[in-house]
Structure 1
């Protein structure tokens, strides 16, 4: 996604009268259109991910919570399940968002989680998901999923270090709250 301020040399959507104070984004057809909040936040997340240091150390709980709060921000209208795959020193190998759901739930498949962790050669995994409702309380399904994933990953010698719940600007660590 590209951003631009008004420029007389770029092509704007036919229905858009160019505003010299507006921020524009390039749509999939290459035409600049006015940027909405969602597009700006998506681009900000992409840029933030690009500037994060490679192999960021995920051994400090506060840093982990901040990482996932940035990734699973409060403006999302659907649940996203994210995974940070880590090496033996708990440095980030890869971050993925393999499952997307609805406003109140996301289907997560333990088999796929294990496959992704093995493919990344991860020694440990931290999982996270958001609650678009803003409720920071884990559901029974959240707790059950955590137990299943912990067991499935342990079978192939991969540690599940934490499950982070993101709701608005708040986070909950299952490990810190004794739920892991």
Structure 2
């Protein structure tokens, strides 16, 4: 995906890479390559979404493999969960941009800290649905997340921004 290319959830066709190394790996990879072919045909970027089932652990080793597989099969961007340990190795092993999934609803400071650490580790962005729309002040929260991702603001300062915006 070229720098500066507009992309939204409507332009990206998400595909979940489930079962890398599991019983559904073959079908998952075929589904992804079919979507990539269609995406190339119609000019629609494909986002590979690395998900783990209940049987798989969220660790950097698995995410390094799964994100790289998604990219090598043609996904132009990959969405993956953040890991506290070795996340920078997940990002550095993937040849396409990575965005971090927000996951379950977290307290605002924790969500902003995850965003800060994700960006510091090399992620291109974050995708924080629940952490925005389930916030007590979603507009303030999205502005705080934007400040972390696009302006390099620390989580602590972004939380202060969130608090100030929430009070007004």
Fold match (TM-score > 0.5): no
Structure holding more strand per residue: 1
Question: Which protein has the larger Cα radius of gyration, Structure 1 or Structure 2?
Answer: 1
Per the normalisation by structure 1, the TM-score is 0.31
Per the normalisation by structure 2, the TM-score is 0.33
Higher normalized contact order (CA 8 Å, seq sep 6+, divided by chain length): 1
